[in-house]
Amino acid sequence: MRLIIASGNRGKIAEFSAMMECTITPFYEVIEEIEIVEDGTTFAENALIKARAIYNQLNDNSIVIADDSGISIDALGGAPGIYSARFAKEGATDKENLQKAIDELQKRGVASSPAHYTAALAIVSKYGEYVVHGWMYGSVINTPRGNKGFGYDPIFIPNGYNKTLGELDDSTKSKLSHRAKALELIKPIIMMLKEKA
C-alpha cells in the first residue's frame, strides 16, 4: 500500500518524509499534474478537497495524505489564514507571501503580534476519510530573521522561544511544529489502514 502526498511543495514533502519515518511518494510521480480548485472555507475542507482529487485519479490501494496549513496573524484580523500560500497573489512564491505579511505589519506600525500556525491533515483511502489538526502558537515580528524552513518561518517566534523558526534547528522545530503535531495524530490511523489492506 503506497502512501501518496498531495503536495508539490518540496520543503513540505521532505518534512513529511522525515517526520513519518517512511517513504512518501509525491503525487506528481504517479499521475499527471492536475489543477485542484481549493474553494473550501477552512483548512480541513481544503485538505480534503486535495486528498480526494488525487485519490480519485488513482485506481489502486493507495493512501493519500493532503495538508492545508497556514498562519493566522491577530494584527491582520487572522489573515492570511487559508490564503497563506497565495497571500501576495495567486501563484505567489514563499518570498512574496512573506514580504506581503511584513509589509502589512509595517503599514500598521506593528512590530510584533500574536499569531498561530494551523495544519489540517486529511487522509483518503478506500476505508474512509479522516482529518486531524495541529497548532503552534507564538508571535510574528516585522523583520525576518534566519534562513531555515520555508514560508513565514523567518518571522514566527514560537511561544517559549526567542528565536524565529527560520533560526531554530530542524530537530527543535519538528518537536514544536503544527505539522508535527498533526502527523503524530495520523500515524496510528495510517497504521490501522495498512493493517486492513
Q: In what order do the strands lie in the sheet with 63-73?
A: 25-26, 3-5, 63-73, 112-125, 128-141, 156-158
Of the candidates 8, 114, 12, 13, which has an alpha carbon nearest to the alpha carbon of residue 71?
114
Kindly report the number of other CB atoms within 10 A of residue 150's CB atom: 18
Selected catalytic residue, list 39, 60, 67, 68: 68
Kindly report the number of other CB atoms within 10 A of residue 131's CB atom: 21
Contact between 118 and 69 under an 8 Å Cβ cutoff? The reply is yes
Kindly report the number of other CB atoms within 10 A of residue 75's CB atom: 19
Q: Is 39 a catalytic residue?
A: no
Secondary structure of residue 39 in the 3-state scheme: coil
Which DSSP helix (H) or strand (E) runs through 196?
helix 178-196
C-alpha 72: how far from chain center:
13
Share in percent of the chain as helix, strand, coil (round to 5):
40, 25, 35
Task: Just list the catalytic residues.
Answer: 68
